[in-house]
Every structure is written in structure tokens, then in C-alpha cells.
Amino acid sequence: MSPGLRLGGTQTDDSWMVILQRLLSVGLAIAGTALLVPAAATPAKDAAVSWTSPTPGEGAVLGVAAKTTLSFRLSAASDGSGGTLAIRDSGSPQGAVIRHTDGDPASATFTWRPPAAQTGVHRVTFSVSSGAGSATRTVGIRVGRPNKPPPGPPNPAGVYPQRLLLSDRSSETYRWAFVRHRTVARTGPSSSAHGMTPITFRTPELYRNAIQVLNQVTYKGGRAWVRIRLAVLPNSTTGWVPRGALTAFQKVHKRMVISQRALRATLYSHGRQIFSARVGVGQPQWPTPRGEFYIREKLSGYYAPAYGPRAFGLNAKSNTLTDWPGGGFVGIHGTNEPQILPGRVSHGCVRMRNPAILRLFRLMPLGTPVSIR
């Protein structure tokens, strides 16, 4: 028999050496082919591009009355490797203007004075991008009906500044608004007036910050300033903010009076009494402050028996620590100790029995003025 290899009963001409040589040549060919295939490129890491303050949050809805100017700012920055950033808008309503400054950081200012025909909700998407990254932000704009002129005779045409009374005790008409964006209250209706205190978008309890408005001054050219009640000491202090920092005005015809001598809270609607309840007020060492205030927030859905089922936050502050969450501010709330009422029993807040606070919660809206005597 020849020295060939027999497979499946048939003899081949290939020796083991020939087979090994062929396998080796195939392996080298495959390896050579692999060397010709370029290695997958390592993807370049995109620069982190993000929105920064004071850009409104994703999905935020800003309110503005028709024929009133809305203005807000956007800002964005990269992690330092993104090059020049550019902020642009899409879906902006007719008449809106965006002025942008490219760079890193980049900024833009959106301004719009919607006509009455554009009431409703509009959504605008802003994008910021560079050669290495991008981000988007969508903001809603709710346009309400034009504000009605407040009570009182208007100024003669063409006479400036125009002065408008927004909250009027004689007609039991009071107005308030939410803060649209952070600003600074000043001692007078001018950006050059001394700054008094920051006005934030939310209260310390993280509710939308409601502001009572008292009157408005409008200068030639349309620049307007509003006098508001502040949440600072001394109590009943007022200051001025730009009209554009607040949302559309809302109106109430109710007023609450709290008598510390009679230990009674009374709510009036259009000057007529609609609610009355005995209350507890601050002890001598923790007195309930006296003055003119308003309902800044309405709280529910929490679990704190000492505050009862509902509570109202005032803009009133105490010179001492109160029993309000976080201390310092004064609230009107229920209690888990109804047997101690009425009396001088609290650390400065106004307490009432739980059935009374539940009824009051249905009757007294945000922005209601509160006189504590």
C-alpha cells in the first residue's frame, strides 16, 4: 500500500504535510484580510451641553395677559469642549422676538406681546447646539384675556406716568398674581431704586409664590412697575417690581379680619360676613404680628396632626420663632388640640378647630387680604 492517507475507504494523494501546509496558508490569508479591515473608530465623546439658570424648566407654563409683554431669559453652557453654542427657537408664535448671544455660555431673551386674538396655550421649543452636542427645552405660554382696567378714573390721555389702583378697599376689589420669574423688589418704581429683597418663583414650602398687588405706574414707552406686599420684616412693608415679573392679575372680593382681642376670625365677601370662628393666637412671648397681610399659599395633602387637615400661609413674619414649618412665617391652620381654643396658645400662628378650617379652605382663595388687629 502506498503511504497515502485513506479516508472513508478512499485513498487521497495528500499527505499530512500537504494538509498542514494548506491549513497554514488559509490561516495566513484570513489574518492578512483582517489586517486590511480598519479598526472601528472610537466614538468621540460629545461635549456635555446643558441649560442653566434662569432658563425655565422643561414643560414649564408661563402665563401672560393679552396685550401685556412677556419676557424671559435662557442660558446654556458646555463642559468646556463644545466650542461656540447657539440658542435658537422653533414654533414661536407670530410677533415673538428672540435675541441671542452665541458663545460658551450662550444666552437668549424671548419677548412677546400677544394680541387678544392669540389667547390660549402656545408651545415653543428652544435648542442649543455646538459641533459636539445639543439640548432642547420646551416651554408653554398661556395667554389669558386682556386685563380689565382697575376701578377709579383713568389718567387723562397722554399724561405720564399713568397711575392705576389695583387693590381698593372702598370697592372690596383686590388683585394678586403669581411670580413669573425671579426678580428684586425695589424702594421705588425704577431699576435704579435701591434693592430691598429678592422675589422668588416659589415660597419656602415650594408652592408657587402668590403676590398681592396694590397699584401700578406706567411710564411713557410702556415700561410698568407694580407695588406689592413683601414677606419681610418689618411687616406690612411694600416694594416695587417690574410688571413683566408677574403673571396676569387675578381678582378677589373677599377680606379676612382677625381680632386678637376678641379671639375671632371673620371672612367678608363684598363687605358681607360669610364666615366666623373662634381662634387661638400667639402667647405673649411669641405674639402674632399685627398688620396688613394676604393669603400667599393654601396647603393640603400633608400629614401633620398639629396643623390640622388644611392650612393657609401668610406673608406675615414674626420677630420670634413661630410654629410654622421652618419657623418665622405665620400661618392659619387647624389643630389636634381643639380643647385649648380659643386662647393665647400658639407660637405666633392662628389656630382654629378642624371643621372650621375645612370650611374656610373652601371659602377663602389665594390673594385674600388679611388684617390682623
Give the start-to-end residue ranges of the domains of the chain.
Answer: 49-144, 162-252, 254-372
Highest-confidence segment of 7-21, 120-134, 174-188: 174-188
> With respect to CATH, is domain 49-144 assigned 3.30.70.260?
no
CA distance 138 to 241: 27
Between these two residues, 241 and 18, which has the higher pLDDT value? Answer: 241
The second-level CATH assignment, the architecture, of 162-252 is Roll (2.30)
Tallying the residues shown for the chain, one arrives at: 373
**Which pLDDT score is estimated for 332?**
95
**Which pLDDT score is estimated for 210?**
97
Tally of CB atoms within 10 A around 186: 19
Go through 236-246 and write b for each residue having 16 or more CB atoms within 10 A of its CB, e for each that does not.
bbebbbbbbbb
pLDDT tens sequence across 19-74: 445 544 544 444 443 333 333 333 334 447 888 888 888 888 787 788 888 888 89
**Which pLDDT score is estimated for 158?**
63
Between these two residues, 167 and 15, which has the higher pLDDT value? Answer: 167
Q: Which residue carries 442660558 as its cell?
A: 75
**Which pLDDT score is estimated for 22?**
54
Mean pLDDT of 191-219: 93
Which distant-in-sequence residues (6+ apart) come within 8 Å of 330 by Cβ? 288, 289, 293, 314, 316, 317, 318, 322, 324, 348, 349, 350
Q: Is it the case that residue 92 has pLDDT exceeding 50?
A: yes
Between these two residues, 50 and 354, which has the higher pLDDT value? Answer: 354
> With respect to CATH, is domain 254-372 assigned 3.40.640.10?
no
The share of the chain scoring above pLDDT 70, in percent, equals 80
**Which pLDDT score is estimated for 132?**
64
**Which pLDDT score is estimated for 70?**
85
Query: Which cell numbers hold the place of 253?
Result: 372680593
Query: In angstroms, what CA-CA distances link 323 with 197, 275, 299, 330, 370?
Result: 24, 25, 15, 8, 19
pLDDT tens sequence across 206-257: 899 999 999 999 998 889 999 999 999 899 999 999 999 999 999 999 999 9
Q: What's the pLDDT band for 11 if we cut at 50, 70, 90?
A: very low
Mean pLDDT of 341-368: 94
Q: Is it the case that residue 280 has pLDDT exceeding 90?
A: yes
CA distance 236 to 258: 15
Which distant-in-sequence residues (6+ apart) come within 8 Å of 162 by Cβ? 154, 155, 217, 218, 219
**Which pLDDT score is estimated for 258?**
97
CA distance 199 to 94: 31
Between these two residues, 184 and 160, which has the higher pLDDT value? Answer: 184
Mean pLDDT of 298-312: 85
